[in-house]
């Protein structure tokens, strides 16, 4: 598949939920694309997404009862974070945060500007072109530590054990995307996945219960991802958050339903208390949201 081939658009239909979503629930992983005339893609990219507007994203949240968001800078924009900053503002600064991509020589002044606009972390994308370079992990981590930001990593953790000592030395928190983005074919006893489990148990890492469709071999149910999600929750109920990964960039064959993706959390976390922690309390701590959420436009 060529990087220029247009990816699928997200589904407009949202399956009904099987549980009641708590007030202040946060979608901790999503992207906004476009408008293309305002925010052009970088030439050296791994995929080409269709436009996915903040209005469409908020409409999906209305259907699910979600009132908070973490907008993640997608690789197709490189280090120009304006699309993400604009999305944070349009969603509402009280209820939105962002993850940026920066150069290794980013200035303190620029980091201050990004912080004021809601950025709370820097993403290292080891799977797609356009991310911060991993060789500068320590340098960037030391720059963002004074802002209490974290490092967010998109990687296949099947060989994570090879770099865990390096990660333990970082002065920041570490957040892993998409349950470690490891194929379920590896099994939960994989050394890399167990390295992730250990980092979570040690209080050195967080993980996003997102992207089950990216790691699953049991499509369209994605049922085989459940064992991985349960293992991550068992490592620490306080260091897991949930994300939709809307609009699911990079897909060309099958598009998941956002209602089904949130319903999967009901299978991973059976109790209402645990789902509340994953959707409300844990994101509030990680991203600095008010623990007593104010009303949003969705309450009106």
Q: Active-site residues: which are they?
A: 245
In angstroms, what CA-CA distances link 230 with 60, 177, 237?
A: 26, 16, 10
Give the N- to C-terminal CA distance of the chain in Å, as an integer.
44
User: Where do we find the tokens 């993980």?
Assistant: 207
Q: Is 278 helix (H, G, I), strand (E, B) or coil?
A: helix
* 3-class SS string, 189-200: CCHHHHHHHHHH
Q: Is 70 helix (H, G, I), strand (E, B) or coil?
A: strand
For residue 79, count CB atoms less than 10 angstroms from its CB and return exposed for 0-12, middle for 13-18, buried for 19 or more: middle
Percent of residues in the chain assigned helix, strand, coil, to nearest 5 = 40, 15, 45
- Contact between 139 and 166 under an 8 Å Cβ cutoff? The reply is no
Q: Is 260 helix (H, G, I), strand (E, B) or coil?
A: helix
DSSP, res 100: E
- Contact between 138 and 104 under an 8 Å Cβ cutoff? The reply is no
User: Where do we find the tokens 């309390």?
Assistant: 281
Rounded distance between C-alpha atoms, residue 294 and residue 271, angstroms: 24
Length of the chain: 300
**Of all helices (H) and strands (E), which one includes residue 161?**
none
Structure tokens given for 127 = 């799977």
């Amino acid at each position: 598949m060529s990087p220029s081939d247009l990816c699928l658009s997200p589904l407009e239909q949202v399956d009904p939920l099987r549980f009641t979503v708590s007030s202040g629930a946060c979608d901790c992983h999503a992207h906004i694309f476009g408008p293309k005339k305002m925010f052009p893609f970088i030439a050296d990219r791994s995929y080409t997404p269709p436009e996915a507007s903040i209005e469409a994203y908020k409409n999906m949240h209305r259907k699910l009862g979600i009132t908070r968001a973490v907008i993640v800078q997608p690789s197709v924009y490189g280090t120009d974070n304006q699309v993400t900053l604009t999305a944070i503002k349009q969603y509402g600064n009280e209820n939105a945060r962002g993850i940026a991509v920066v150069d290794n020589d980013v200035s303190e002044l620029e980091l201050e500007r990004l912080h004021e606009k809601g950025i709370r972390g820097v993403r290292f994308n080891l799977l797609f072109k356009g991310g911060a370079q991993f060789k500068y992990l320590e340098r960037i981590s030391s720059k963002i530590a004074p802002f209490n930001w974290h490092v967010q990593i998109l990687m296949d953790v099947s060989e994570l054990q090879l770099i865990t000592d390096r990660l333990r030395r970082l002065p920041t928190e570490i957040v892993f995307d998409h349950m470690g983005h490891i194929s379920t074919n590896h099994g939960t006893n994989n050394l890399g996945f167990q390295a992730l489990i250990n980092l979570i148990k040690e209080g050195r890492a967080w993980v996003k219960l997102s992207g089950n469709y990216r790691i699953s071999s049991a499509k369209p149910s994605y049922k085989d991802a459940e064992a991985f999600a349960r293992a991550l929750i068992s490592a620490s109920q306080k260091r897991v958050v949930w994300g939709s990964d809307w609009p699911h960039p990079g897909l060309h064959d099958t598009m998941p339903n956002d209602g089904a993706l949130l319903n999967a959390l009901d299978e991973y976390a059976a109790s209402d208390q645990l789902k509340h922690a994953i959707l409300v309390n844990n994101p509030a701590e990680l991203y600095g949201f008010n623990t007593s959420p104010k009303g949003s436009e969705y309450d009106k």
